[in-house]
Amino acid sequence: MARKYFIAGNWKMNKTAKQAAELAKGLVASVGAVDKVDVAICPTFTSLAAAGKEIAGSKIKLGAQNVYFEASGAFTGEISTEMLLEAGCTYVILGHSERREYFKESDEFINKKVCASINAGLKPILCVGETLAEREGNVTMDVVSRQTLLGLEGVCEVGIKSVVIAYEPVWAIGTGKTATPAMAQEVHAGIRAILAKKYGGEIASGVQILYGGSMKPDNAAELLAETDIDGGLIGGAALKVDSFAALINAAVAAK
């Protein structure tokens, strides 16, 4: 099954609403008409409206960086799926390594958010990946398998078609280190094999699996050339028009 490349920008805790609007406007001017590659930007909650207004009518989709699994109620500081949909979101990032590390989110907690998102009509970008200690301990696939299977607990064959997986080797995020294309491909292929065992080969072949470990314009072509790497969940390089556009153009060229 043919899969489109997908370049998604995780802006993390960066950009005020005004700055987000400026960046989004620049991206629309540069790559807003690209349709050979799926593109999404994921600003902070307070910048969703401003960025969403700028990308309206373009090919760029809007995503959020988190969501809570309850529909409403006394959950101070949280945000619901309905709120994200009303803001124009298509995607939501879940299980990012920073959420797991700093906010102690468990696989079971993340799974509740994955299921709530799918049920609401949002497309989860489920992040999985190992720490440096886990890689050096040769348990990478054990960790990734656990995070993938527990994160997708209860997700049916229809639901998985809405899910994007992002493999993010934690040791390669913000450190300047990057897994070699062969290292990344090995894990991506392993994730697809896990999906194939759970859902069957045909469904697994249609799931986009992104690389989330410091993909940059100078290494994108090599990474995207690998069979099971379907794009990137981009951090720092997503915060500037030129570098994010370069990644999208690299994905277009890779097709």
pLDDT tens for each residue of 120-175: 999 999 999 999 899 989 999 999 999 999 999 999 999 999 999 999 999 887 67
Helices (H) and strands (E) in the chain, counts: 11, 8
Identify residue 174 by its one-letter amino acid code: G
Judged by average pLDDT, the poorest of 44-48, 183-187, 213-217, 220-224 is 213-217
CA 27 to CA 176: how far, in whole Å? Answer: 24
CATH number for the domain formed by residue range(s) 6-254: 3.20.20.70
Which residues have CB under 8 Å from 61's CB, separation 6+? 38, 39, 40, 41, 55, 90, 91
Tell me: the pLDDT tens digits for 34-67? 999 999 999 999 999 999 999 999 999 999 999 9
The answer on pLDDT for 177 being more than 90 is no
pLDDT computed for residue 107 by the predictor: 98
188 flagged as catalytic: no
CA 113 to CA 130: how far, in whole Å? Answer: 21
Domain residue spans of the chain? 6-254
The answer on pLDDT for 224 being more than 80 is yes
pLDDT computed for residue 201 by the predictor: 97
96 flagged as catalytic: yes
Contact 45/78 with Cβ under 8 angstroms? no
pLDDT computed for residue 213 by the predictor: 85
Report strand pairing: 89-94 vs 60-64: parallel
Q: pTM for this one?
A: 0.97
Contact 96/10 with Cβ under 8 angstroms? yes
Is the pLDDT higher at 133 or at 89?
A: 89
When computed from its CA atoms, the radius of gyration of the chain, rounded to whole angstroms, is 17
CB atoms near residue 56 (< 10 Å): 12
Q: Where are the beta strands (DSSP E) in 25-114?
A: 38-42, 60-64, 89-94
Longest pairwise C-alpha distance within the chain:
48
The two structure tokens encoding residue 137: 């301990």
Query: What is the chain's mean pLDDT, rounded?
Result: 96
**Region 248-255 average pLDDT:** 93
pLDDT computed for residue 1 by the predictor: 52
pLDDT computed for residue 108 by the predictor: 98
- Catalytic choice (105, 130, 168, 226): 168
Which residues have CB under 8 Å from 47's CB, separation 6+? 11, 15, 16, 17, 19, 20, 21
- Catalytic choice (96, 98, 105, 226): 96
pLDDT computed for residue 49 by the predictor: 98
